[in-house]
Structure 1
Amino acid sequence: MQEELRFYNDYYQLTKRYLRNLNKFKTALRNLESKANNLAETMEGYEDVAAPIATYGESTHGVHRPLNGIEAAAERHIELKDDWHYLNADRKQLETIIQNVENAVAALPAEDQTIIKDYVINGSNILVVAEKYHYSDRTIRNRTKKAILDVALMIFGIKAQPTHLSFVFAK
């Protein structure tokens, strides 16, 4: 969530994007886990790397000599470890988003859950969903909007609530 969210509509739009991309997020998470596992296996080959004691010449001109095999292996191990940490950070962020969205959808009434899953998450045509539940397409749109607002409130808390629903108490 790099972007700054200021208005409830921002939270609504972000929640809608999360719902629409939930299946893609799950696939991306599996791919990240696979990459992290591959990196971890690759790093195992670089575990026992010990660099020799550095030798210094008399020159002060900053002569650069190429890394020897052990130094190159140590450098590669550091790079792999950094990549692994970035992958894990991305994985944790995706896990959090997926878990929050799934928990919020699970807290909706059963019929709203199935409408959200069919229409928003799986991308079914609104007319197909309306016919399946014996509602008009307008009713499906209204229920979907209300459900997305509810999910946004469950994920982001009170800041996702429309300002016209906020109470102001004067002294």
Structure 2
Amino acid sequence: HTELNGVESACERHLEMRQDIQNMKSDLSELRRLTEKIDIAFNVADDVARSMVRDYYMDGYSWEQISMRHHYSARWCREKVKKAVEDMSMVIFGMKAKPLQLSFVFVQ
């Protein structure tokens, strides 16, 4: 394997950067598409369900805290959130989102 001269090396770096830029544009396009799907899915739920989903998954509130905030039983809140998440996941993932047991992990 031969070493590249300065011009060849710069040309190779340029080609690699162009490929990196193209990959980043593709990634950005995919992220925009996914973000739009998530926005649509989030709006499938009613205001109360959206608020509870946000409280539990994004803000880390306990079911008891959510229950007190919304004036419903903790059990009812869990069921409301479960149904909302199922509906949202159907919008995002389609039929693939209907496993035997739903388990979602949101990471930052």
**Correspondent of 1:122 among 59, 67, 74:** 59
Larger RCO of the pair (alpha carbons < 8 Å, separation 6+): 1
Q: Distance in 1 between matches of 2:93 and 2:23?
A: 25
**Correspondent of 1:94 among 31, 35, 38:** 31
Pairs aligned (count): 100
**Correspondent of 2:85 among 148, 151, 154:** 148
C-alpha RMSD of matched pairs (Å): 2.2
Consecutive unaligned residues in structure 1, runs of 5 or more? 1-63, 164-171
- Aligned residue for 2:34, secondary structure, equals helix
Q: Which residue of 2 aligns with 1:82?
A: 19
Q: Quick check: 2:44–2:87 contact (8 Å CA) kept in 1?
A: no
Equivalent position amino acid for 1:111 in 2: V
Higher helix proportion (structure 1 or 2)? 2
1:14-163 equivalences under 5 Å are 64-158=1-95, 160=97
Q: Quick check: 2:55–2:66 contact (8 Å CA) kept in 1?
A: yes
Q: Which residue of 2 aligns with 1:168?
A: none
Q: Distance in 2 between matches of 1:161 and 1:108?
A: 17
Bigger Rg over Cα: 1
TM-score by length of 1: 0.51
> 1:162–1:76: structure 2 CA closer, same or farther, 3 Å change rule?
closer
> 1:70–1:162: structure 2 CA closer, same or farther, 3 Å change rule?
closer
Q: Distance in 2 between matches of 1:150 and 1:104?
A: 8
TM-score by length of 2: 0.76
Q: Distance in 2 between matches of 1:93 and 1:115?
A: 28
- C-alpha displacement of 1:160: 3.8
